Structure 1
Amino acid sequence: MFTGIIAAVGKIIAIKKNQKDMTITVHAGGLDMSDVKLGDSIANNGVCLTVTHLNGDSFNADVSYETIKLSGFSNIKTGFLVNLEKAMQMNDRFGGHIVSGHVDGVGEITAVTPLGNAVEYWIKAPDDLAKYIAKKGSITVDGVSLTTNEVDGASFKLTIIPHTISETIMQEYAVGTRVNLEVDVIARYLERLVLGEQAAESYSKQHSTMDLLAKSGFMG
């Protein structure tokens, strides 16, 4: 588990592509690697990856086909910068929100607007994630724990302070930048709870039930 508080910015320095998956080598930048061992988890732009090899200030990690398909790793190249966070320990300070490291989809930056010392970003999320995004709710963008200030359909606005921008890859964001999104895990559990006994049925039957409830006026 992670908290969404970025510890350092790393860089992809090598990519070995296999038939469907790949192995990446990440220079850890300012990340303290003194206590990292093989098998540990490190979030890279919000993607939980397992350390498979250590070489001083860099590490290797395998990226599965499923992860490539669902995240910004589908467009990764050497030289890309990545937000890094080591997995949370039981005695760590909880500074962000519960982040699992399982990316739900890829969003796109649609507007970047300076606002005093801060910067506003509008991000368009995939339509199927819109129901999990709420005003003043938590969302993870490239591994960073953030609060949504406004929501408009599947789009949401973030207002980011200079410190967060300077300590993460958000300084690289521009219109068109694609970002990894992880919605609040509590919202996902609430969705299952609302289904009640329907949760044990197949997805197609669940979908039919939800459609019927919506048509009958029981859902907004």
Structure 2
Amino acid sequence: MFTGIVSDIGEITSLTPVAQGQLHRLRIACHYDRATIADGASIACNGVCLTVVASGIERDKTWFDVDAAAETLGMTTARLWDVGTRLNLERALKIGDELGGHIVAGHADGVATIRSREDLPDMARFTLHTTRELARFIAPKGSITLDGVSLTVNAVKDTTFSVLIIPHTLSVTTLSSWRAGSEVNIEVDLMARYAARLTEMT
């Protein structure tokens, strides 16, 4: 489990397609302490929970390897990642950690597309479009995770919604690079999903 509070920005340094393109082995450079990364650990990469299969240090920089399988490549923006791609990273939540965002599973539900970007003084407002299936879980003032970042929804209209990004978030995540047409990973609020399921069963 995660909180949607990004703790580092990593960069892909190598990408190797394996298993006839159905699996990508990624090496990601980061600022985490190598001693704290164990094989089998979960790290959210742009909101996608991936399992560490190896780690080490090269040129005084920590790196870790993860595998992106066919389902991940098909459902998320991982299919677009390449060497040089910067990723929002978050370590798995530990008992006792501060829950600064909201409960995030790291299981991206799909992709949202940025319709527009409005630059404001030190801030930015983004309007995004998603599928009708996911839009029904999105509500004004509700929580949503975009590229691994816990955000509050401002407004919703049909299959579009908007979020306002504050200066701190722009400075410590990759969201400052978002532009109209960019695709981002989306995970809807777990509570909204369970509430909708309960409604369907009554």
TM-score over 0.5 (shorter chain)? yes
Partner in structure 2 of residue 121 of structure 1: 126
- Residues 140 and 154 of structure 2 are in contact (CA less than 8 Å); yes or no, is this contact kept in structure 1? yes
Give the corresponding residue for 2:28: 26
Query: Per-residue CA shift, 1:126-173, capped at 9, x if unaligned?
Result: 221110000000000000000001111111111111110010001111
Residue 76 of structure 1: how far off its partner (Å): 1.4
Q: What letter corresponds to residue 192 of structure 1 in structure 2?
A: R
**Structure 1: which amino acid aligns with 2:32?**
L
Residues 91-132 of structure 1: CA deviation (Å, up to 9, x unaligned): 111100000000001011111111222111111112211100
Contact 1:104 1:183 survives alignment (8 Å): yes
Spell out the pairing of 1:1-220 with structure 2 (5 A cutoff): 1-18=1-18, 19=20, 20-28=22-30, 30-56=31-57, 57-196=62-201
Deviation at 1:31, TM superposition (A): 3.2
What's the offset of the Cα at 1:190?
1.4
The answer to which structure, 1 or 2, has the higher relative contact order (CA under 8 A, 6+ apart) is: 2
TM-score, normalisation: structure 1 = 0.86
CA contact (8 A) 1:7 1:31 kept: no
Give the gaps of 5 or more residues in structure 2. Answer: none
1:187 CA drift (Å): 1.2
Structure number with larger C-alpha Rg: 1
Q: What letter is aligned with 1:26?
A: I
Give the Cα separation in 2 of the matches to 1:125 and 1:13.
Answer: 30
Q: Give the structure-2-normalised TM-score.
A: 0.94
* Deviating more after overlay: 57-66 vs 187-196: 187-196
User: Deviation string for 1:23-75 (max 9, x for gaps)?
Assistant: 111011x3344311110000000000000000120000011100110000111
Greater strand share, structure number: 2
Asked whether the 8 Å contact 2:34–2:55 carries over to 1, the reply is no
Q: Which is helix-richer, 1 or 2?
A: 1
- Separation in 1 of the partners of 2:116 and 2:33? 34
Report what 1:206 is aligned to.
Answer: none
Long gaps (5+) in structure 1? 198-220
| Gap change, CA 1:14 and 1:154, over 3 Å in 2 | same
CA distance in 1, matches of 2:151, 2:133: 20
2-side partners of 1:113 and 1:187: how far apart? Answer: 28
Question: Is the Cα–Cα contact under 8 Å of residues 135 and 158 in structure 2 kept in the other structure?
Answer: yes
Shift of 1:195: 2.4
Q: Using the aligned pairs only, state the percent identity.
A: 40
- Tell me how far apart the structure 2 counterparts of residues 33 and 152 of structure 1 sit (CA, whole Å): 45
Distance 2:40 2:128 in 1: 33
Corresponding residue number in structure 2 for 1:210: none
May I ask how many residue pairs the two structures share in their alignment? 196
* Structure 1 ranges of 4+ moved more than 3 A: 31-34
* Structure 2 CA distance for aligned equivalents of residues 75 and 152 of structure 1: 28
Separation (CA, whole Å) in 1 of partners of 2:113 and 2:137: 17
Structure 1's 62 and 160: CA in aligned 2 closer, same or farther, altered over 3 A? same
